[in-house]
A and B are shown apart, each in its own frame.
Chain A
Amino acid sequence: MSFEWPWQYNFPPFYSLQPNANTQHKQLAAWCSLVLSYLRHHKLYTIDVLEAQESPLFHNKKIQRKFPIEAIQVVLEELRKKGNLEWIDKSKTRCLIMWRRPEEWGKLVYQWVSKNAMTNSVFTFYELSNGDDTEGEEFHGLEEWLLLRALQFLQSERKAEIITLSDSKGVKFF
């Protein structure tokens, strides 16, 4: 299924950071939701800012508009404030995107576990993210770092416990 661009994507002013405060607020909100849905659709979890400039996400070749890098930084900062983004490096060139926050992932995993009556079982991380059983689940293909955070969240809710196995990480659900 190809990605469906929102109407703003083909609206040239979308690519100029608006000086009017109200307008900008709406504009940034639209950009945030576009970034998250785009990454979600393509199952991407990181952004390299320089590469992103050239990707179709910020560069619409059809209308010949590019979102300038300063503005991209503003959008990323918004995402960070909302809790959807974490910078990997201090110089802010690469970041992790959580188009679903760890808590939300945690809930989904736990839902699947309880639905299949598998509490009290132990899983490896790999089994959860890449196992045959989880195929079709939304968290299938989830990157390890994010799965870890999701499980840490569950751990804080006492719904799971992370255990270290001989050569990998695992988790037990309660």
Chain B
Amino acid sequence: MDRFVWASGLLEINETLVIQQRGVRLYDGDEKTKFDLGTVVLSTHRLLWREQKKHDCCIALLLSQIIFFEEQAAGIGKSAKIVVHLQPIPPNKEAGPYQSSKYSYIKLSFKEHGQIEFYRRLSEELSQKRWERISVSQPMQSPGRSQAGRVRAAGIVGIERKLEEKRKETDKNITEAFEDLSKLMKKAKEMVDLSKLIANKIKDKQGDISEDETIRFKSYLLSMGIANPVTRETHGSGTHYHMQLAKQLSGILQAPVEEQGGMMALTEVYCLTNRARGMELLSPEDLVNACKMFEALNLPMRLRIFDSGVMVVQLQSHNEDEMIASAVETVSERGFISSEEYAKLVGISVLLAKERLLLAEKVGHLCRDDSVESLRFYPNLFLTQD
């Protein structure tokens, strides 16, 4: 605790607030101090502690004095703590609350939690070491300063200047963070243009390339990305967005759903479209809302919800009765069938196979045999025989 100096609690120019947390008590080593309820403040340069009630009681510690720090988990009746190990006391340190201490570490006890976030931010600051790059207008390191923590600029101009600095800092951080993302997006655009080019070339040379290859290539395109994904940026959010999304979805889903026999579980649709989009992923809600609009927009697909709650996207051309009749025929041929066997036979997912068999049971064409082995379906002889 003897590394702390008295402070005014005000931040220097170029010193930025990172995070603050109420309800923190300070320990000198393992001993409680009289600083038992306050707000701990982390800035780019310092670690401050300010008494909750008496705001003018404030102490500070330079981040450069921190060697390392660690978490101490909460226990019964004990709050979680962060233990901060400090460098030896510098020779020309200013006045502080403790003249000397036998400990070279302090503890911050988080009585109102917040330790996880604080720990994270402290790690960030200590790894970035921004205090080395950004010099504050009133350097605290230089010896011979008469009073601790006096800000150079006072008055409204000073406040304005501080705000301006803070804004610039935030701006810079955001720009840095998104630089990588925009680089990635540029690359993606290049890839998309390339694939469009190749696709067109294929279309022109239709005769030279076999259908098989074309199909394969088209599936690569689908899995690589769509040229212009409908995003909230381009089309906003809300109904308009969902409408556009619905149109795009019905376009790309036509072929895969047909392949699967006219019906595909919504979870599969979700995976397929998000894989195709690559970026600008859809949330499950957006997908469901868009699918709900198929009917209203006269698109050739429907969102259908079974009794069991399972949701599927179904082609409008899908004929339910035909499906049931073919299922019943299959069962009659084989005597009986289970969902798994039927799924394998027809080439659809087990979930959809079960739904189809349940539907046939619902209309009375099949009956069930529920035993310890499995659930099987038989032709409904109860109704046909006798």
Contacts and interface: CB of A to CB of B under 8 A. Distances in A.
A15 B369 contact: yes
B383 A13 contact: no
Given A23-B382, A26-B382, A12 B361 contact: no
Interface stretch (B90-98, B143-151, B241-249, B373-381): B373-381
User: How would you classify the secondary structure of chain A's contact residues: helix, strand, loop or mixed?
Assistant: helix
Given A12-B378, A27-B382, A22 B364 contact: yes
A7 interface: yes
Contacts of A26: 382-383, 386
B371 interface: yes
A12 B364 contact: no
Q: Chain A CB within 10 Å — which of B371, B380, B382, B383 has the most?
A: B382
A65 interface: yes
A29 B376 CA distance: 22
Contacts of A18: 367-368, 382
Nearest to B368: A16
A20 interface: yes
Contacts of B361: 19-20, 23
Contacts of A64: 371
Contacts of A75: none
| Category for how many chain A residues contact B | 10 to 19
B371 A23 contact: no
Interface in B89-133: none
A12 B367 CA distance: 10
Interface residues of B, number: 17
B383 A16 contact: no
Nearest to A17: B370
B195 to A, nearest CB: 50
A8 B369 CA distance: 13
B383 A12 contact: no
A162 interface: no
B35 to A, nearest CB: 69
A8 B384 CA distance: 12
A57 interface: no
A47 to B, nearest CB: 24
Contact of B370 (A8, A16, A22, A30): A16
A7 B364 CA distance: 19
Contacts of A145: none
Interface of A: 7-8, 11-13, 15-16, 18-20, 22-23, 26-27, 30, 64-65
Interface of B: 336, 361-362, 364, 367-371, 376, 378, 380-383, 385-386
11 contacts: A11-B378, A12-B369, A12-B371, A12-B376, A13-B378, A15-B369, A19-B368, A20-B362, A23-B367, A30-B382, A65-B369
Given A12-B371, A13-B378, 11 more contacts: A12-B336, A12-B376, A19-B361, A20-B361, A20-B362, A20-B364, A20-B380, A23-B364, A23-B367, A23-B380, A65-B371
